[in-house]
Structure 1
Amino acid sequence: MTDYERPLSFGVSLDPSAGAWGRTLRIARMAESSGLDHLAVQDHPYQPGHLDTWTLISHLSATTDRISFLTDVADLQLRPPVMLAKAAASLSVLTDGRLQLGVGGGGIPDAIASMGGPARRGQDMVAFAEESLGILRTALAGGVVQLHSTYHSVDGYRAGPVPPEPVGLWLGAQKPRMLALVGRSADGWISPLNLYVPPHEVPSRQRIIDEAAAEAGRDPRTLRRVYNVTGVIGAPAEGPGLVGDVRRWVDTLAEWAVDLGFDTFVFWPATDPERQLALFADEVVPAVRERVDALRSAR
């Protein structure tokens, strides 16, 4: 049982498909008006039907006022960390701090190579990601970036502008070496979808993060824990991921908060996204907040 007792937050994943643009805009506005915390956008630029993540977020930021954006997750092998920091800092300034930066080492090497990327794998990818996190952190703080290594050559870049609010560096990770990197160097963990990291596999991954954080002299309770959750609320009775009525969703997400340690849930509707978002924001989210508060108070 793991509860880091962090405040809960909730978001929805937006479809970056060019053909779904109108619906994506409606969902973004619905999410903000419903009080959700995050709009999450995946980053697979090698998909010919996908809009570019940064272009999409930048456009949506001009049509919203409060809700935060989350890259879920930006591909470090296709977005050099110095330029990624520049883009993130710029967007944070333009949105008054409405950005969290989810990043990943690059999980589809062949697709990355198809766009001219280096397609790193294994320990090579982990080492590259670790250096990239260091560059991102220095650049986002407005420092001078100077690094010459196997992976990066940055000769005294003076970073800026400085974001008005800290931009969280949340790392997407699934395997042990990347999970340990979360604990050592990131501000939080973004878990892949519950289809790929099912609940019964979460505790072992949380332990890897916590042990690495403790070894690095960090408090594991300071790290965010984000679960990407796909499924269907209500009918139909079948579908991928978490499927069931509102009560089952409330029971399950509350359990995943207090027993698995997640503080942020990003909903990926498996069907009828506008109706599903309404159910999630209006019925599931407030009930989960209330349930978790009650469970924590009882302890």
Structure 2
Amino acid sequence: MTDYGHELLFGTFITPTASPVTQAVDLAVLSDRVGLDLVTFQDHPYLPTFHDTWTLLSFVASRTERVRVAGNVHNLPLRPPAVLARAAASLDLLSGGRFELGIGAGGYWDAIEGMGGRRLAPGQAVDALAEAIEIIRGLWAADERGGVRVRGTYYQVNGAKRGPAPAHDIQVWIGGYKPRMLRLIGRMGDGWLPTLSYLPHGISDLPTMNRHIDEGAIAAGRDPSAVRRMLNIAGQFASTGSGLLVGPPRQWAEQLADLTLTHGVTGFILMGDDPTAIEVFASEVAPATRELVAAERR
């Protein structure tokens, strides 16, 4: 059993659909109103049926009051890291410290190439992500002297001026599944942000994946608990239970609490665009899960 001790976060994973034009914004405002911690949007800049995720995040931040916003996850091959760093710092400042950076190495390479991006092999994409994170963190470190210099294979900056500093210590949450990426998350990330349905064998994959992250953290001289473990989840609320995340809210709470106490997952992001499900998740599942975890931790 592994519990990394983080406070619990509950959020939404909203489709950034461009039609109806305000649907994603309305669901984000609802997430804020019902007391969730986080609103996230997937980032596929090559899909004309979606709003541009960065523009959407900025608009949502201006329409909400307390909820944090993040990409889930940003498509690095189409978002240059130095520009991404400054955009992130600006949005964090303008929102009063409510932005977190979800980022991924890229996928859907045909579509990325179609938008002018560069196709990378899996190992190359991991190396490129590591270079990008070094650049991003360097630009955020406004109090350090001298410009940022990173002469990477895929990304280079040559004396880029630092700043602005974000309003708070922006967390870098990384999406990934393979051992090399997981070790990079342990080495450089503040959080792991996978989707449960993408795990080949579901929850049973979590111990092995956590171990890769832990090994990466330890090799870099970090405490494994420095990396928050999160999950994008989907399910169905029903009067009777019939499996994982299919059943009444109390069952959901018990199953999510078990994921926290057994596998260290402390961020749960509900996928889907159903306003009723979002309200039930916020009003019933989140508080019950927090109570169960708090009682067990005590």
Under TM normalisation by the shorter chain, which class is it? over 0.9
Q: Tell me: CA distance 1:44–1:290, structure 2 relative to 1, closer, same or farther (3 Å).
A: same
Equivalent residue number for residue 231 of structure 2: 227
Equivalent residue number for residue 28 of structure 1: 28
Matched-pair contact (CA < 8 Å) for 2:240–2:248: no
Matching of residues 243-258 of structure 1 within 5 Å: 243-258=246-261
Q: Give the Cα separation in 1 of the matches to 2:40 and 2:228.
A: 15
Q: Give the Cα separation in 2 of the matches to 1:45 and 1:77.
A: 10
Question: Secondary structure in 2 aligned to 1:265?
Answer: strand
Matching of residues 1-299 of structure 1 within 5 Å: 1-142=1-142, 144-191=147-194, 193-197=195-199, 198-234=202-238, 242-269=245-272, 273-297=274-298
Superimposed CA distance per residue, residues 275-295 of structure 1 (whole angstroms, 9 cap, x where no aligned partner) = 100110011100000011111
Shift of 1:149: 2.9
- Give unmatched runs, 5+ long, in structure 1: none
- Superposed CA RMSD in Å reads 1.7
Q: Tell me: CA distance 1:236–1:118, structure 2 relative to 1, closer, same or farther (3 Å).
A: farther
Q: Tell me: CA distance 1:236–1:120, structure 2 relative to 1, closer, same or farther (3 Å).
A: farther
Q: Give the Cα separation in 2 of the matches to 1:21 and 1:288.
A: 34
2:79 partner letter: R
Q: Give the Cα separation in 2 of the matches to 1:20 and 1:5.
A: 40
Q: Give the structure-1-normalised TM-score.
A: 0.94
- Give unmatched runs, 5+ long, in structure 2: none
Superimposed CA distance per residue, residues 193-236 of structure 1 (whole angstroms, 9 cap, x where no aligned partner) = 21112211111000000011011100011111111101112269
Matched-pair contact (CA < 8 Å) for 1:2–1:261: yes
Q: Give the Cα separation in 1 of the matches to 2:180 and 2:263.
A: 20
Q: Tell me: CA distance 1:21–1:252, structure 2 relative to 1, closer, same or farther (3 Å).
A: farther
**Structure 1 runs (4+) greater than 4 angstroms displaced:** 235-239
Matched-pair contact (CA < 8 Å) for 2:9–2:37: yes
Matched-pair contact (CA < 8 Å) for 2:135–2:157: no
2:253 partner letter: V
Shift of 1:237: 7.8
Q: Give the Cα separation in 1 of the matches to 2:33 and 2:258.
A: 27
Question: Secondary structure in 2 aligned to 1:127?
Answer: helix
1:137 partner letter: R
Q: Tell me: CA distance 1:21–1:234, structure 2 relative to 1, closer, same or farther (3 Å).
A: farther
Matched-pair contact (CA < 8 Å) for 1:176–1:208: yes
Q: Give the structure-2-normalised TM-score.
A: 0.94
Question: Secondary structure in 1 aligned to 2:268?
Answer: strand
Q: Give the Cα separation in 1 of the matches to 2:86 and 2:239.
A: 44
Matched-pair contact (CA < 8 Å) for 1:109–1:121: no
